[in-house]
A and B are shown apart, each in its own frame.
Chain A
Amino acid sequence: MSTLTIEKLTVGYGDGAPVLDGLELEVPDGAVVALLGANGAGKTTLLRSLMGLVPARDGRVLLDGADLTDLSTEDRVRRGLGLVPEGRSVVVELTVAENLRLGALWKKGRKNKGPAREAAVGQMYELFEPLARRRDAAGHTLSGGERQMLALARALVGEPDVLLLDEPSLGLAPLVVAQLLGVLRDQAAATGLTVLLAEQNVTGALSVADRGVVLSLGEVVADRPAAELAADPALRHAYLGF
């Protein structure tokens, strides 16, 4: 639904050396791009910086040509950008239903009114059966898989144009990962959602992505169609360590 453009993005912590140095990347409308790279490559930093959680030292972030650089996190969300942060970011004190309702409140610059909101939440229950069964359970009673499911559902229910995901498969059983990534791929195909998926699970990520981008030491070192990347042992070996 929207194109995300990253221009000369430089990000660092404190006054240390930049973690991302003049990064350039375009995620076209409707594309599913896998963001790969070893631990510490800067994937989380990039995604958090795109959301305005880590300030950029330099460069710009554009959504369909509109500059987001000076906007707060909340306003970026209201412009149609969404992030599923690393580590199953469910609000554990709230129930499943409340987490979903929270995700459905703000949608593309306007407040989602009651009936539309409930309908959107209902769709998520259809998509994620286990959540429907546990809708009144508090977040802290969910399993790891259910939490990540809820985090994804809560991001999808706000109908973002561009969805960023930070290692959603971390620490989850292969079956659960396959299910989550399957839903993500189907949703992207059905709605035209643009996806930037940071993963260390290279095989899983490349199986749902059209394109893979490899990040190393703050720069994009490879940018290829997913199938090509998956099939290139030299590249895998050099940058992904297997």
Chain B
Amino acid sequence: MERLVFLLSTGLARGAVLALFALSLVIVYRAARAVNFAQAAMAIVPVYVAFAVTAASGSYWFGLASALVVGALLGAVVERWLLRLVPQDNPLPGIIVAIGLVMVLQAGLAIAFGPDHRPVHAPFSQRPFEIAGVGVLSPYDLFVLVVAAVVMGALAILFNRTTIGLQLRAAAFAPETSRLLGVRVPRMVTLGWMLSIATAALAALLLVPTGLGLDPHAADVLFVNAFAAAVIGGLDSPVGALVAGLVVGVLASLVTGYASAATAPLAVLALLTVVLLVRPHGLFAAREARTA
């Protein structure tokens, strides 16, 4: 029982990070109609910057802010000066360019900072609170949950309650119609990339203190699990990413606790397979449009 409570609560905190990263994949999928296979590498670059800023300034918060800014800038630069130059009529060239970008970014980080793990300190204690003798969330887990909730809330408001969000959604669903209504679609695509990479960078930044530390591949496993969560949720659905992210996080935590860490990826894969067998477009995919 104690163990279950502990595993559930850590699973929730890991799931929140997964959900955030899955959400970043959904945002970029909506903007670009493509899965960004370079998301992990693009997310980890701003984390290195945050690490350097925190080391130099002594402030975690400066580091966090710089990760968001650098993430947004990186998203804009990659979209505007790299992916926009790639032929769009089929997805393959974009995927190949993304894989190349992963190699360049990760090799560049290894050259600049060395390939070793760098220990990263969490801004809050990672020792679990004890309630009635049962270890539950740590202060850092709580911080992660709060940050994830705030960011998701802010993104939900941005997309659903503002005119920028309306234009972002319209541009993603119907680019030509949007242009006919005066929406600057290319600018919306760039903005989508900026939001996506900033969100992914934040997720990676929240993740590193709970893992082995910072290295150029620190977000790779996060990407794989978040990609699974995004597909389970329906790739196009922010709510799906949130729910599936939490479910995958809790599942991985339970399987790690009761079986072994090596079994967790298999469990995630099994869940993904079952969901796709039952609902090929994911759990929260948009319903088919009426045609008559």
Contact = CB atoms under 8 A, between A and B. Distances in A.
Interface in A61-120: 72-74, 77-78, 82-83, 85, 89, 91-94, 98, 101-103, 105-106, 111
B167 interface: yes
Given A93-B286, A94-B173, A140-B290, A73 B163 contact: no
Interface residues of A, number: 28
Contacts of B287: 140
A106 B290 CA distance: 28
A51 B176 CA distance: 11
B166 A73 contact: no
A141 interface: yes
A167 to B, nearest CB: 15
A145 B148 CA distance: 43
Contact of B179 (A74, A91, A140): A74
B182 interface: yes
A144 B291 CA distance: 9
Interface in B165-210: 166-167, 169-170, 173-174, 176-185
A154 interface: yes
B262 interface: no
B75 to A, nearest CB: 22
Contacts of A91: 170, 173-174, 177-178
A74 B182 contact: yes
B289 interface: yes
A37 interface: no
Contacts of A85: 176-177, 180
Contacts of B131: none
B163 A105 contact: yes
A74 B167 contact: no
Contact of B183 (A93, A94, A98, A102): A102
Given A94-B173, A105-B167, A141 B180 contact: no
A93 B170 CA distance: 8
Contacts of A98: 166, 169-170
Contacts of A78: 182
B277 interface: no
B292 interface: yes
A77 B166 CA distance: 18
A98 B179 CA distance: 15
A218 interface: no
B181 A53 contact: no
A168 interface: no
A73 B185 CA distance: 10
Nearest to B179: A73
Contact of A106 (B169, B176, B181, B286): B181
B292 to A, nearest CB: 7
A70 to B, nearest CB: 16
A53 B176 contact: yes
B163 A103 contact: no
A158 interface: yes
A105 B178 CA distance: 11
Interface in B236-292: 286-290, 292
B178 A102 contact: yes
A89 B179 CA distance: 12
Given A74-B182, A83-B180, A91-B174, A102 B292 contact: no
Nearest to B185: A74
A13 to B, nearest CB: 16
A35 to B, nearest CB: 18
Nearest to A52: B179
A152 to B, nearest CB: 13
Interface of A: 51, 53, 72-74, 77-78, 82-83, 85, 89, 91-94, 98, 101-103, 105-106, 111, 140-142, 144, 154, 158
Q: Which 4 A-B pairs have the closest CB atoms?
A: A106-B182, A140-B289, A77-B182, A73-B179
Given A74-B183, A91-B174, 19 more contacts: A53-B176, A73-B179, A74-B182, A82-B180, A85-B177, A91-B170, A92-B173, A92-B289, A92-B290, A94-B170, A98-B166, A101-B163, A101-B166, A102-B183, A105-B163, A105-B183, A106-B181, A140-B288, A140-B289
